[in-house]
Structure 1
Amino acid sequence: MKSIKSILSVFAAALFVNVAVASTPNTGKKATTLPVDTKGSKIHWLAKKVTGQHEGTIAISSGSLVTSGTKVTGGSFVIDMKSIVCTDITDAEYNKKFIGHITTGDFFEVEKFPTSTFKITKVAGANITGDLTLHGITKSITFPAKIAVAGGKTTATASIPVDRTEFNVKYGSKKFFESIGDKAIDDVFNLDVTLVAGK
């Protein structure tokens, strides 16, 4: 009789444990897709040459970030190539001429390629890897980024060096025009990206 009671006690205890485990809520973090705030997001560009440099802004037209807790796990954004602005040239006529130059055939051909895109393919610690499509060519790039979560919004910031020659933008590059001298333009330009996402 005692052995039967013992068996029943063990069975009851096991049943209680199983029910308790089954009723424990799942605490795993769900992935959340947040729309990019295009007004709060921005890109600052900087391009250098032998005799100086130019800088400006370019708009993000759409995008999203995928988050899990306080971590970014994926996402993408679209850059409006027709929105390129130069902020350091104060002469209106020269500014217009400069923008006309970098948006046509010698550089980014924005009529043919009106947008560029970046899509995250991997996040490892502080490093983000993704596919950058620029001038109709897609390349994988990796760079460090900082992520901040506050007030229901996620902000990702990064300084991204881009070698334009890898995207078939060769104008003024010593890599292709060795005798260009002081008219050379650096192959690498920099994009300081601030991406704000959330409702």
Structure 2
Amino acid sequence: MNRLTRLTLAAVAAAGFSSAAFAKPETYVIDGSHTFPRFSYSHLGFSTQLSRFDKTSGKVVLDKEAKTGSVDVTIDMKSVNTGYPVFNGHIQGADFFDTAKFPTATFKSTKVVFDGDQPTAVEGNLTIKGVTKPVTLTLSSFTNKEHPMLKKDAIGANASVKIKRTEFNAGKYAPYVGDDVTIDIALEAIRE
């Protein structure tokens, strides 16, 4: 093999390795019409109540080659939907969400955990009522494929975490109204 052929093959191989090593992270914008954080808790031991937030925004960055990513979510706490308008107003009061002072809650990731090619958990900081605590969201599903209607790359995930509301200064009536709150997030996002 002559010297020119060896140099050409070496350059092609180097280009292939460098493009894999420097794969571009892709940014996905959260689809607010298909992303709904829900929360559930025990109500006086009688039933498990389930409510949701109707307005969520943010971005997800995913680098499939490097198996890294980030998640940045903002929840409009005034969009709480308990299914009962009077209770929507009550739960926004100072004893619970205090939306007059803290209109949003946020989750900002510190690490996305992968098992092979699939993300399985997202570690990060959850801020509610100005209190920030580290949490780990466990993913029960994750999908990355072309959106059949938009014809763009999209991701979808379902994640959950359990918190204690007393740790976020929202503990009125605990333990009668459950302190343990499960947060489930159904998320869809479209690549920019």
Give the TM-score of the pair, scaled to structure 1. 0.78
Residue equivalent to 1:149: 144
Whole-Å separation in 2 of the counterparts to 1:61 and 1:100: 19
Code of the aligned partner of 1:86? T
Deviation per residue, 1:121-176 (Å, 9 max, x gap): 111221210110111111110131132112111112112212111112121123xx
Q: Secondary structure at the match of 1:46?
A: strand
CA contact (8 A) 2:144 2:156 kept: yes
More off after superposition, 163-172 vs 114-123: 163-172
TM-align CA RMSD: 2.0
Q: Note closer, same or farther for the CA distance 1:114–1:130 as it changes in structure 2 (3 Å cut).
A: same
Residue equivalent to 1:169: 170
Greater share of residues in helix: 1
- 4+ long deviations beyond 6 Å: none
Residue 122 of structure 1 pairs with residue 115 of structure 2: no
Code of the aligned partner of 2:127? T
Question: Which residue of 127, 131, 135 maps to 1:137?
Answer: 131
Deviation, structure 1 residue 100: 2.3
Q: Note closer, same or farther for the CA distance 1:153–1:72 as it changes in structure 2 (3 Å cut).
A: farther
User: Any gaps of 5 or more consecutive residues in structure 2?
Assistant: 115-119, 147-152
User: Any gaps of 5 or more consecutive residues in structure 1?
Assistant: 1-8, 88-94, 175-183
Q: Note closer, same or farther for the CA distance 1:157–1:185 as it changes in structure 2 (3 Å cut).
A: same
Give the TM-score of the pair, scaled to structure 2. 0.80
Aligned length: 172
CA contact (8 A) 1:156 1:196 kept: yes
Question: Which residue of 53, 57, 78 maps to 2:48?
Answer: 53
Q: Note closer, same or farther for the CA distance 1:131–1:60 as it changes in structure 2 (3 Å cut).
A: farther
